[in-house]
Structure 1
Amino acid sequence: MSLHNKPIRWGIIGLGNIAHKFAKDILTIKDAQLYAVASRSQEKANSFAKEYQVIKAYNTYEALANDSNIDAVYIATPHALHKENTLLCLKKGIAVLCEKPFAMNFEEVEEMIACAKANNTLLMEALWTYFLPHYQYVLSLLKDKTYGNILKIESDFGFYRDFNDDARLFKKALGGGSLLDIGIYPIFTALSTIGEPESIKANATFFDNGVDSSCQMVFNYENNTKAHLKSSLVEDLPTEAIFYCEKATIKINRMFHMPTTVSIIVNEKEIIKDFGYSTIGYNFETIHFNNLIREGKKESDIMTFDFSKILIRTLDKVRKIIHLHY
Structure 2
Amino acid sequence: MAGEPVRWGILATGGIAAAFTADLADLPDAEVVAVASRSAESARIFAERFGIPRAYGDWDALARDADIDVVYVATPHSAHRAAAGLCLEAGRNVLCEKPFTLNLREAEELVALARRSGSFLMEAMWMYCNPVIRRAAALVRDGAIGEVRAVQADFGISGPFSPSHRLRDPAQGGGALLDLGVYPVSFAQLLLGEPSDLTAQAVLSAEGVDLQTSALLSWDTGAQALLHCSIVGDSPRTASVTGSRGRIELPHSFFHADRFVLHRDGHAPEEFTADPADGRVDSFRHEALEVMRAVRAGETESPMVPLDGTLAVMRTLDALRERIGVRYPGETGEPALAPA
TM-score range, shorter chain: over 0.9
Number of residue pairs the alignment of both structures matches: 324
Q: Under a length normalisation based on structure 2, what TM-score does the superposition of the two structures give? A: 0.92
Q: Name the SS of the counterpart of 1:257 in structure 2.
A: helix
In 2, the alpha carbon distance for the partners of 1:270 and 1:68 equals 52
Q: Which residue of 1 aligns with 2:160?
A: 162
Contact kept, 8 Å, 2:131 with 2:281, in 1: the verdict is no
Tell me the CA shift for residue 59 of structure 1. 1.4
Contact kept, 8 Å, 1:9 with 1:70, in 2: the verdict is yes
In 1, the alpha carbon distance for the partners of 2:280 and 2:306 equals 27
Tell me the CA shift for residue 16 of structure 1. 1.1
Q: Which residue of 2 aligns with 1:211?
A: 209
Q: Which residue of 1 aligns with 2:192?
A: 194
In 2, the alpha carbon distance for the partners of 1:25 and 1:167 equals 26
Aligned pair 1:257/2:255, yes or no? yes
In 2, the alpha carbon distance for the partners of 1:122 and 1:136 equals 22
Q: Under a length normalisation based on structure 1, what TM-score does the superposition of the two structures give? A: 0.95
Tell me the CA shift for residue 128 of structure 1. 0.8
Deviation digits for residues 120-140 of structure 1 (CA, Å, limit 9, x no counterpart): 111111111000001100110
Tell me the CA shift for residue 185 of structure 1. 0.4
Q: Name the SS of the counterpart of 2:311 in structure 1.
A: helix
1:16-55 equivalences in 2 (<5 Å): 16-55=14-53
Q: Which residue of 1 aligns with 2:338?
A: none
Q: Name the SS of the counterpart of 1:224 in structure 2.
A: coil
State which drifts further: 298-307 or 121-130.
298-307
Q: Which residue of 1 aligns with 2:334?
A: none
One-letter amino acid of the structure 1 residue matched with residue 273 of structure 2: D
Q: Which residue of 2 aligns with 1:182?
A: 180
Q: Name the SS of the counterpart of 1:180 in structure 2.
A: helix
Contact kept, 8 Å, 2:144 with 2:264, in 1: the verdict is no
Q: Which residue of 2 aligns with 1:73?
A: 71
Report the CA distance shift for 1:184/1:279 in structure 2 as closer, same or farther (over 3 A): closer
Match of 2:296 among 294, 297, 305: 294
Tell me the CA shift for residue 194 of structure 1. 0.9
Tell me the CA shift for residue 279 of structure 1. 5.8
Report the aligned-residue RMSD.
Answer: 1.5
Contact kept, 8 Å, 1:25 with 1:279, in 2: the verdict is no
1:138-149 equivalences in 2 (<5 Å): 138-149=136-147
Q: Which residue of 2 aligns with 1:311?
A: 313
Tell me the CA shift for residue 44 of structure 1. 2.0
One-letter amino acid of the structure 1 residue matched with residue 262 of structure 2: I
One-letter amino acid of the structure 1 residue matched with residue 308 of structure 2: D
Report the CA distance shift for 1:223/1:207 in structure 2 as closer, same or farther (over 3 A): same
Tell me the CA shift for residue 34 of structure 1. 1.1
**Percent identical across equivalent pairs?**
34
Contact kept, 8 Å, 2:145 with 2:242, in 1: the verdict is no
Contact kept, 8 Å, 2:77 with 2:100, in 1: the verdict is yes
Tell me the CA shift for residue 4 of structure 1. 1.4
Q: Name the SS of the counterpart of 2:52 in structure 1.
A: coil
In 1, the alpha carbon distance for the partners of 2:315 and 2:221 equals 23
Contact kept, 8 Å, 2:78 with 2:173, in 1: the verdict is yes
In 1, the alpha carbon distance for the partners of 2:139 and 2:272 equals 13
Contact kept, 8 Å, 1:132 with 1:281, in 2: the verdict is no
Report the CA distance shift for 1:183/1:67 in structure 2 as closer, same or farther (over 3 A): same
In 1, the alpha carbon distance for the partners of 2:127 and 2:192 equals 16
Contact kept, 8 Å, 1:21 with 1:280, in 2: the verdict is no
Contact kept, 8 Å, 2:6 with 2:30, in 1: the verdict is yes
